[in-house]
Structure 1
Amino acid sequence: MRFIGTQLDMSSFRQARLEDCVFSECSLRQADLRQTTLSSTDMRGSDLSEANFNGAILDNADLRDATLLGLDVTQLTSFEGLKVSADQLTDIVRPLGIRVFPRAR
C-alpha cells in the first residue's frame, strides 16, 4: 500500500497490519494507529501530530523528518531499529526522562 501526500487526518488504522507500507509526506494528524503493526513502514516527512500509537509496533519504521508531536515511545509495543532524524531525538526520548543537550565545545 502506498500513500503519497495524502490527507488521512483522524483516520482509523486500529489493529491493521501495515508492514512495508509507504505514508510519504502524508497528514495523519490525530490518526488512530493503536495496536497497528507498522514494521518497516516509510512515514518520512509525514505529520503524525497527536496520532495515537498506543500498542503499535514500529520496528525498523522510518520516521525521519516526520512531525512527531505527542509520540510517546513508552506506549509502543516495540520500536527496535526505528529511524529518526537527529533533530527529532529530543521529542522521542523526553517520555523516557532523557534530556538531550547540544555538544559542549
Structure 2
Amino acid sequence: MNLRGSIVSVVDSRMFLDLEQVPYTPRTRLLSLQSNEMVICLAVDSVSEMLPIPATAINGNVRQATIPSWAAPYAMGSASLSNRVIIVLDVARLLFSEKMQRYKA
C-alpha cells in the first residue's frame, strides 16, 4: 500500500501469528510499525485506544503465564498502566524475525 508516499507491505496479523482467520470489518485497522528504515503495516482486528507508555513503566520481566503464546517470541516486557497489564512488543524483533522474512500472504 502507499503510506505517505512510500510503498509498504501489509501483513495480516492473524495469518502471521497462525490465529483463526476472521473477515475484515469496519473496525479492522492498519498499524504502522517502523524500525530504522523498515516499515510495515499490520492488519489488526481493532484498536480500542492508543496510550503513551513511559519507558519507566516498562518492566523487562514477562511472566509466560500472563501472555499468549503467539506474543512470547516478540515480547520485550510488560507495563502496568491504569490497573492493566500491557504486553510491550519489540518491533525490531517482530520486523526482523525469520518468520516475518519468510511471510507470504
The interval holding the TM-score normalised by the smaller chain is under 0.3
Greater helix proportion: 2
Greater RCO (CA < 8 Å, at least 6 residues apart): 2
When normalised by structure 1's length, the TM-score is 0.22
When normalised by structure 2's length, the TM-score is 0.22
